[in-house]
Amino acid sequence: MAWDPAQYLKFGGERLRPALDLLARVPLDAPARVVDLGCGTGSLTRILAERFPGAAVTGLDGSPEMLAAAQKSAKPGETIRWQQADIAQWRADPPVDLIYSNAALHWLSGHATLFPHLLAQLDRGGVLAVQMPRQHDAPSHRLIDDGMRAYPYLAERMKKNPRPAPVGDPGFFYDVLRPLASSLDLWETEYLHVLEGADPVPEFTRSTTLKPVLENLDPGDRDTYMAGYRAACRTAYPPRPDGRTLFPFRRIFIVAVK
Ligand SMILES: C[S@@+](CC[C@H](N)C(=O)[O-])C[C@H]1O[C@@H](n2cnc3c(N)ncnc32)[C@H](O)[C@@H]1O
């Protein structure tokens, strides 16, 4: 799907905090080679470069739109290498010391083979640090599916351009990674985002999980679909008396040391 950097960055603050929480748990002082998988607009890649000043840092993403936005905001003297590639096909040569991936790997399927593959791209003692949403059971995501039922043609169309599948639970990742890792840190956090404005939950999901649905709907059906989704979100996440909306959002964190 085509990513929209501006819409994604509207909730930059809410999306930044889990990324920093993940980085805070990376047990490395001076990795030589760092890769940010699914780097998007590159704001976290730059934070990685600042956190590890001696490292060769690569930001890798499949979206030309996101990489163009990343390159456009380059700072003078910056040495980050930007690479357009599919994470599923990516191989590190030579092996890297840190693979960091925030809010990206849930877009890929086959985690039972992908995660061991990523661990195999690390040097000895290297770290795989991943954060992904686990929001599929929450109203924000279930209501997207509920609305889709009125448009049966979507099922066939979305085979090419699917919504992310539900991310496995911590037990799944424990079983996949524990035999391969010298240490494994797994946790979940439910953030309570305090959102402003009208219908902020559909605004939040519009740049990510809702996007493939909107892209596959016939143009004439989009407004009707969105009106129904907005109304359902208003009921599920009613504005507080001060006009703001509380939006609980669950995320899983994985830090595996090879
Ligand atoms: C939600 S954005 C997250 C961007 C950034 N990591 C952040 O947290 O701000 C997800 C990114 O993953 C990228 N992505 C998704 N699937 C990918 C794949 N198979 N290969 C490369 N990049 C992918 C998208 O292009 C998008 O930029």
Q: Which residue has the tokens 């890929």?
A: 108
Q: Give the span between the Cα atoms of 149 and 124, in whole angstroms.
A: 48
Average pLDDT over residues 188-197: 95
Q: How far is CA 122 from CA 32, 115, 116, 243, 254, in A?
A: 12, 11, 10, 47, 15
**86 Cβ inside 6 Å of ligand 1:** yes
Find all residues with CB under 8 Å of 208, minimum gap 6, and list them. Answer: 8, 103
Residue 86 Cα to ligand 1 midpoint, Å, equals: 10
Pocket test for ligand 1, best of 61, 84, 117 (most atoms within 8 A of CB): 61
Find all residues with CB under 8 Å of 165, minimum gap 6, and list them. Answer: 106, 109
| pLDDT tens column, 224-246 | 999 999 999 999 999 999 999 99
> Which residue has a Cα nearest atom 9 of ligand 1?
40
Is the Cβ–Cβ distance between 99 and 122 less than 8 Å?
Answer: yes
Q: Give the span between the Cα atoms of 123 and 31, in whole angstroms.
A: 10
| pLDDT tens column, 93-136 | 999 999 999 999 999 999 999 999 999 999 999 999 999 999 99
Residue 119 Cα to ligand 1 midpoint, Å, equals: 19
Residue 240 Cα to ligand 1 midpoint, Å, equals: 32
Domain ranges of the chain: 5-142+164-195+248-257
Is the Cβ–Cβ distance between 78 and 46 less than 8 Å?
Answer: yes
Residue 238's pLDDT is what?
97
**208 Cβ inside 6 Å of ligand 1:** yes
Q: How far is CA 248 from CA 135, 229, 256, in A?
A: 9, 17, 26
Give the orientation angle of helix 170-177 with respect to helix 111-120, to 10 degrees: 50
CA dihedral 212, 153, 223, 237 (to 10 degrees): -60
pTM across the whole model: 0.92
Confidence of residue 208 (pLDDT cuts 50, 70, 90): confident
Which residues are paired to 191 by β-bridges? 249
Q: Does the domain at residues 5-142+164-195+248-257 carry the CATH identifier 3.40.190.10?
A: no
Residue 210 Cα to ligand 1 midpoint, Å, equals: 15
Find all residues with CB under 8 Å of 246, minimum gap 6, and list them. Answer: 192, 193, 194, 195, 237, 240
| pLDDT tens column, 18-62 | 999 999 999 999 999 999 999 999 999 999 999 999 999 999 999
